[in-house]
Structure 1
Amino acid sequence: MLQSFDRSSRVSKYFCHSCKIFGLSSVVIGSGHHFRLNSAMKEIKIKGGSNADPHPLNDETHAQLSCAIQGCTASNVQCTPEIEKKYVHRVYDAIAPHFSSTRFAKWPKVASFLSSLPLGSLVLDAGCGNGKYLGYNSNCFFIGCDISAQLIKICNERGHEVLVADAVNLPYRTGFGDAAISIAVLHHLSTENRRKKAIEELIRVVKKGGLVLITVWAVEQEDKSLLTKWMPLSEKYVEEWVGPGSPRVRSPSSMALESIPEMNENNSGICLKDSKENLTGSIPENKPPPSQSENDLANCNHENLLKTQQEYFVPWHLPYHRAEVSGTSASALASGLAKKDDKKAAVVYNRYYHVFSEGELEGLISGMDNAVVVDRFYDKSNWCIVLEKLV
């Protein structure tokens, strides 16, 4: 009972801190601590949102939330670049129900991490998506956040404690959680400074000794053929670039925008042996295997590009029968955010990804003195690290 009271108290403090950040008032309702945010947040009707209004958070509201503390300028790392607004935020809001229907399997490594946490731990899931990890360990308490209001709506309908928030500006007080996870999130941030800031935020919000698990897509894909199905950006976006209009025009690419089977997206189906490394200086034993044949990429004229390219648009095919042709999809098609693929009977949306090379994730925390990497591993085409907060 004491533990329950303590956890309830911590949640109340969380909501108070949330209001201070956004300059809003909040109300904690019922034993489940469901909440609503008043004032400017009235526009974000998560619980009562209508399917006809898939974008309760427009770009301007996103910018206000991301820059609630400081003015939004191009040099402010917390200001969302246009490429993320258009090819991450808007896309995930548009595909949320279909995306959620494909996201139910738990990754064994993430499940193992959550199962290992002490009884009563408060876990913060930054970029929780449809909430598939929220509540995984019944002995822990979970709070999730995501930039997509439509994914948060799905989480809310499932009874999870969630809110709309940006990964580079988490609405939790310092030292609030016992652990934090960021699963397949950082690769959607378009600059190194924003990726680094997101890691700093994850470290900030856990207490001393708290653990942080981060996973990102790897450029070293087990199935190299996946890279041929992604559209490479010809040049990296300018550091901290924020501006009106569309992102920079990329050079024409002969790469076909083909469908990625959802069950195999970013997963070739090859199961590598579990292995961990406590950073003794050696390379992980389960480093991604080399190409099985020198001819693996022979049919692709982009071999050199594939070796160095890290910026991609990864397509999501939303079947016509799942698309709101009269609403979201029609608007996306009209604005150029999405395209029709009549052969596959789908509306195609592009999602921005920065895929990580080996050691890049650890490199982002090399200058931080308040955390240390206690584990690193490669798991099903993902680079993963576990951090421990020192102070």
Structure 2
Amino acid sequence: MSISSENVEQEYVHSIYSRLATYQQKDHKPSSPRIWPRVRQFVDQQSIGSVILDVGCGEAKYTSQKCHVIGFDTCSEVLSSSKKENIELCLADAVNIPIRDASVDAILNVSVIHHLATTSRRRQVLQECSRCLRVGGQMLIYAWAFEQPNGKFAAQDILVPWNMHETAIGGRLPKVKFHLNTTKEQRIIAASIPVNISDKSIAQRWFSGVLSKVTSLTDQLPYFSKRCPSSSGYKSNQSTPTGSDSPLMAQKLPSAAPQFLPTTNSLISGIKRWSPMLGRRLASLLVPVEEQFSEELAQTIMRESITEAMATLREVTFYRFYHVFKEGELSDLVDSVDSLKVVSTSFEHGNWCVIAEKISTNLIRP
């Protein structure tokens, strides 16, 4: 299954985190399991008065009483719900950071770089971070590992499911079935979907998309497919691509978020929310007024019932894109940036952790 590098980040990263912003748990005490110990230690080791830049800060989990933390993220929904003390938040992209050169003492790059689709994009983020970092300052990079304690992923570029039953309501997790023979990591690995990141030109992607749609329409028309030349024994002299990148052989990627096709009634309901009077006038062209009010009452009851049911079951699945790093890959990526050198590499909770230091470009690496 193939997808362009531009689309995968927008569809399976940015839009998904915007959708999930309202479901995230906001309790991030120092003892919380969502606070990585190595990252917390790195923050605590910084000198008093240091300026720390948190790249892709998300819910702004890492704050400090003795340092000034500046956090930014591309998701405005997450930032709007992360109002905390001792941290300054702004909306920005990691490939174009609105910070002056050499103006920060330390950088947190936690769970960000594995959401970038290509090596060039990942290197671009590291170069931009290095620009903001002063010489001698350090950056902690935290990314998901290909090698997990309970197995390995099927590929490095994957779509990972995120289930709503993993979130808490009122501080309590809903009841889920206990899996005797598998761990959560093993279930994630088994459910992840390998993808191919395409770097084709816009024209090539457009042609592949059109050809894929024509093929899917042909499959949906039995009358046409039975009379297709390929079905009557005709063989073309041209070779047909059969690789995984071929649109003819490509499988359909799952939607990043559940898709609901709007019906006529649902469109009218949307207009009603914007203008009740206009909505009723449009609806009167389809159904009597009495039926409208009974339908509105039924919709209200159904909406409340579905909301309560989803709060209990919540079997809705979202998909997020990850590039999982093999051993040594993250260090090699850091080494590819002239102004950075690797200080240490460690493995923690299924993640690779690399601490890099900015060096003067006039110095020669040992």
- TM superposition score normalised by structure 2: 0.55
- Tell me by how many angstroms 1:99 deviates: 2.3
- Tell me by how many angstroms 1:377 deviates: 0.5
Which of 85, 100, 103 matches 1:176?
103
The one-character-per-residue Cα deviations of 1:5-54 (angstroms, maximum 9, x if unpaired) are xxxxxxxxxxxxxxxxxxxxxxxxxxxxxxxxxxxxxxxxxxxxxxxxxx
Give the SS at the match of 1:364.
Answer: helix
Q: 1:152 to 1:373 in 2, by over 3 A?
A: same
Tell me which residue corresponds to 1:9: none
- Tell me by how many angstroms 1:177 deviates: 0.4
Compare 341-350 and 86-95 and name the one that shifted more: 341-350
Give the SS at the match of 1:161.
Answer: strand
- Tell me by how many angstroms 1:170 deviates: 1.0
Q: 1:346 to 1:118 in 2, by over 3 A?
A: same
- Tell me by how many angstroms 1:171 deviates: 1.1
What is the percent sequence identity of the aligned residues?
32
Equivalences for residues 80-99 of structure 1 within 5 A? 81-99=6-24
Q: How far apart, CA to CA, are the structure 1 residues paired with 2:109 and 2:102?
A: 17
Q: How far apart, CA to CA, are the structure 1 residues paired with 2:84 and 2:18?
A: 16
Which of 57, 72, 82 matches 1:128?
57
Which of 192, 196, 199 matches 1:230?
192
- Tell me by how many angstroms 1:208 deviates: 0.8
Tell me which residue corresponds to 2:41: 112
Q: Which has the higher contact order (CA 8 A, sep 6+)?
A: 2
The one-character-per-residue Cα deviations of 1:292-351 (angstroms, maximum 9, x if unpaired) are xxxxxxxxxxxxxxxxxxxx999899xxxxxxxx99xxxxxxxxxxxxx99943322111
Q: Is the 8 A contact 1:81 1:241 kept in 2?
A: no
Structure with bigger gyration radius: 2
Give the SS at the match of 2:20.
Answer: helix
Give the SS at the match of 2:127.
Answer: helix
**Which one-letter code corresponds to 1:115 in the other structure?**
D
Q: 1:131 to 1:212 in 2, by over 3 A?
A: same
- Tell me by how many angstroms 1:102 deviates: 7.1
Tell me which residue corresponds to 1:384: 353
1:356 corresponds to 2:325 = yes
Q: How far apart, CA to CA, are the structure 2 residues paired with 1:239 and 1:130?
A: 35
1:164 corresponds to 2:133 = no
**Which one-letter code corresponds to 2:39 in the other structure?**
V
Q: Is the 8 A contact 2:58 2:79 kept in 1?
A: yes
Q: How far apart, CA to CA, are the structure 1 residues paired with 2:132 and 2:8?
A: 27
Give the SS at the match of 2:316.
Answer: strand
Q: How far apart, CA to CA, are the structure 2 residues paired with 1:246 and 1:164?
A: 35
- Tell me by how many angstroms 1:247 deviates: 9.1
Q: 1:229 to 1:116 in 2, by over 3 A?
A: same
Give the SS at the match of 1:151.
Answer: helix
Residue ranges of structure 2 left out of the alignment (5+ in a row): 152-185, 213-252, 259-268, 271-309, 361-366
The one-character-per-residue Cα deviations of 1:202-248 (angstroms, maximum 9, x if unpaired) are 11111110000000000101122231021222x23327989789999
Q: Which has the higher helix share?
A: 2
Tell me which residue corresponds to 1:369: 338
Q: Is the 8 A contact 1:232 1:313 kept in 2?
A: no
Q: How far apart, CA to CA, are the structure 2 residues paired with 1:227 and 1:152?
A: 30
**Which one-letter code corresponds to 1:125 in the other structure?**
D
Q: 1:245 to 1:229 in 2, by over 3 A?
A: farther
Tell me which residue corresponds to 2:148: 221
Q: Is the 8 A contact 1:214 1:385 kept in 2?
A: yes
Q: 1:369 to 1:111 in 2, by over 3 A?
A: same
- TM superposition score normalised by structure 1: 0.52
Q: How far apart, CA to CA, are the structure 2 residues paired with 1:219 and 1:158?
A: 35
Give the SS at the match of 1:179.
Answer: strand
Residue ranges of structure 1 left out of the alignment (5+ in a row): 1-79, 250-311, 318-325, 328-340
The one-character-per-residue Cα deviations of 1:145-189 (angstroms, maximum 9, x if unpaired) are 011111111123667311111111111111010000111110100
Q: 1:245 to 1:107 in 2, by over 3 A?
A: farther
Q: Is the 8 A contact 2:145 2:326 kept in 1?
A: yes
Aligned CA RMSD, in angstroms, stands at: 3.6
Give the SS at the match of 1:190.
Answer: coil
Q: Is the 8 A contact 1:82 1:244 kept in 2?
A: no
Q: Is the 8 A contact 1:145 1:163 kept in 2?
A: yes
Aligned pair count reads 228
